[in-house]
């Protein structure tokens, strides 16, 4: 019988590999020493030899098995976590609001857990025909944060009749919910209030609501929702609840988010009129605007030594422009000072001060203050005059003061002389 002799290190590696394979297949507790040595074709009596030479082969085998098992466990856990993140149930996410008319629709989803790979398919259906289809892709949705998407149908010549807006919510290819909203177009309806107009700008949005004339002086309670839309996503919303509309009512709200200069946004307004016994009546309107930086000069102080101007921000686009003070006389510029404005947003105000290079001589001067915007455009101008009464401006270059310039000096001097003489005589 031929006996192959291997060095201890080689034999040790074979035993560890064999033990690891058996541990993974049968489990650590179910694996015995005879199984290990039998797998590589050696006698069991060789184990003490390796143990005595290397100081604990069983311990090494056990450590390697634990390490391998841990790696397998972590990989398996990662796979399970990834699968869990991609597998959602209807309880994890839902459509909480949906509205549509012939112009546009908005849909709001609410995830209960962190989800990825979300899609919303929006369809406008008329007489069983899909007129428009739009898909929203949401890469990631944090838990408990609502996401609202807006779609504009852009129909050229919509027909009269009944329409259906259908929203299909999908997570990782699995449909979670399908929601419908029915509405009519071209059919006479009698809303209790009208949205007369909505005017948005970089600061906020202003609207006018008016009740239906047939209602007379009957008040209508409404809930008004203002939305700021960037592309197809609502980035800011605020609501006014239980607004009493008895006559033409003006309302406004400011945006409380920072806007990007020269970027196009849309303001969307939804008016909900609660109705007893029937569904709430909702009307909506949208208007686009381009965000621009804006500010105003609200106060100005000036004299022959300098000037100060208070500037107030009028936009949610950060104002980082300049303010220019120009002093002139008889159409000739005497001095011009340019200073950077502090960063301003809506209702922020700061005062900018300047000092002329030298005092202005006596006379009347024109002062022009120009507020320059982020793009170099003039956003506000304030013009006024400076009346300088600095009669001593050239005193350092002239001779001593003449009697005509101080007519009271000789009178006071004579009076003091007479008093001194009187006291001198009295003492004698």
Q: Tell me the pLDDT of the chain averaged across its residues.
A: 82
Q: Which residue has the tokens 């004299």?
A: 303
Full set of structural domains in the chain with CATH: 8-85 (no CATH), 93-185 (2.60.40.10), 193-290 (2.60.40.10), 295-388 (2.60.40.10)
**What pLDDT score was predicted for residue 45?**
56
**What pLDDT score was predicted for residue 288?**
97
| pLDDT at residue 21 is higher than 60 | yes
**What pLDDT score was predicted for residue 52?**
42
Estimate the crossing angle of helix 33-40 against helix 8-26, to 10 degrees.
Answer: 120
Q: What token pair was written down for 115?
A: 């989800």
Cα–Cα nearest to 342, from 353, 355, 351, 331:
351
pLDDT winner (highest mean) among 15-19, 49-53, 226-230, 411-415: 226-230
Q: What token pair was written down for 213?
A: 């004339």
| pLDDT at residue 54 is higher than 50 | no
The CA distance from 159 to 176, in Å, is 32
What would the pLDDT profile of 295-342 be if each residue is shown by its tens digit?
999 999 999 999 999 999 999 999 999 999 999 999 999 999 999 999
**What pLDDT score was predicted for residue 12?**
67
Cα-based distances in Å from 29 to 25, 32, 33, 331: 11, 8, 11, 102
- Top pLDDT among 345 and 32 is at 345
| pLDDT at residue 70 is higher than 50 | yes
59 burial level (CB within 10 Å; 0-12, 13-18, 19+): exposed
The CA distance from 387 to 225, in Å, is 52
| pLDDT at residue 157 is higher than 80 | yes
The CA distance from 44 to 29, in Å, is 18
DSSP 316-384: SSPB--EEEEEEEETTEEEEEEEEEPPPB-BT-EEEEEEE-SSPPPSEEEEEEEEEE-TTS-EEEEEEE
Distance of CA 163 to the CA centre of its chain: 35
What would the pLDDT profile of 365-385 be if each residue is shown by its tens digit?
999 999 999 999 999 999 999
| pLDDT at residue 121 is higher than 50 | yes
**What pLDDT score was predicted for residue 24?**
73
Using DSSP bridges, classify how beta strands 147-152 and 193-200 pair: parallel, antiparallel or unpaired: unpaired
Provide mean pLDDT across the span 197-212: 93
For residues 118 and 171, the answer to whether their CB atoms sit within 8 Å is yes
For residues 384 and 367, the answer to whether their CB atoms sit within 8 Å is yes
DSSP code for 157? S
* Secondary structure of residue 375 in the 3-state scheme: coil
DSSP code for 192? S
Q: How many CB atoms lie within 10 A of CB 284?
A: 21
Structure confidence at residue 395 as a pLDDT band (50, 70, 90): very low
What would the pLDDT profile of 244-301 be if each residue is shown by its tens digit?
988 889 999 999 999 999 999 999 999 998 776 666 789 999 999 999 999 999 999 9
Cα-based distances in Å from 68 to 31, 72, 159: 16, 6, 68
For residues 265 and 317, the answer to whether their CB atoms sit within 8 Å is no
């Amino acid at each position: 019988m031929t006996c192959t002799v291997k060095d201890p290190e080689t034999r040790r590696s074979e035993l560890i590999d064999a033990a690891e394979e058996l541990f993974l297949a049968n489990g650590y507790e179910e694996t015995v020493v005879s199984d290990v040595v039998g797998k590589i074709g050696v006698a069991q009596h060789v184990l003490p030899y390796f143990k005595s030479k290397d100081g604990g082969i069983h311990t090494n085998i056990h450590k390697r098995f634990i390490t391998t098992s841990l790696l397998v466990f972590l990989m398996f856990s990662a796979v399970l976590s990834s699968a869990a993140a991609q597998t959602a149930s209807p309880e994890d996410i839902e459509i909480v609001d949906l509205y549509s008319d012939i112009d546009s629709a908005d849909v709001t989803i609410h995830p209960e857990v962190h989800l990825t790979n979300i899609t919303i398919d929006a369809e406008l259906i008329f007489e069983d025909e899909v007129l428009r289809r739009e898909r929203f892709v949401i890469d990631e949705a944090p838990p408990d944060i609502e996401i609202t998407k807006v779609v504009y149908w852009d129909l050229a010549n919509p027909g009269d009749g009944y329409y259906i807006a259908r929203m299909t919510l999908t997570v990782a290819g699995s449909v979670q919910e399908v929601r419908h909203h029915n509405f009519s177009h071209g059919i006479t309806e009698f809303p209790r209030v009208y949205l007369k107009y909505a005017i948005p700008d970089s600061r906020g949005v202003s609207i006018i609501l008016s009740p239906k004339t047939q209602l007379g002086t009957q008040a209508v309670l409404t809930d008004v929702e203002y939305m700021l839309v960037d592309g197809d996503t609502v980035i800011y919303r605020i609501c006014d609840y239980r607004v009493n509309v008895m006559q033409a009512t003006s309302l406004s709200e400011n945006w409380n988010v920072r806007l990007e200069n020269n970027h196009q946004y849309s303001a969307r307004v939804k008016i909900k009129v609660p109705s007893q016994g029937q569904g709430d009546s909702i009307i909506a309107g949208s208007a686009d605007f381009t965000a621009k930086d804006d500010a105003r000069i609200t106060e100005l102080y000036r004299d022959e030594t300098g000037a100060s101007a208070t500037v107030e921000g009028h936009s949610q686009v950060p104002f980082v422009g300049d303010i220019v003070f120009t002093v002139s006389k008889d159409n000739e510029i005497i001095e011009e000072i340019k200073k950077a404005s502090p960063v301003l947003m809506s209702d922020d105000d700061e005062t900018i001060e300047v000092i002329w290079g030298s005092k202005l001589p006596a006379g009347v001067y024109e002062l022009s203050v120009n507020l320059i915007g982020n793009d170099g455009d003039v956003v506000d101008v304030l013009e006024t005059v400076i009346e300088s009464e600095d009669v001593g401006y050239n005193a350092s270059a002239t001779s001593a003061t003449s009697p005509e310039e101080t007519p009271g000096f000789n009178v006071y001097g004579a009076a003091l002389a007479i008093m001194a003489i009187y006291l001198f005589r009295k003492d004698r």
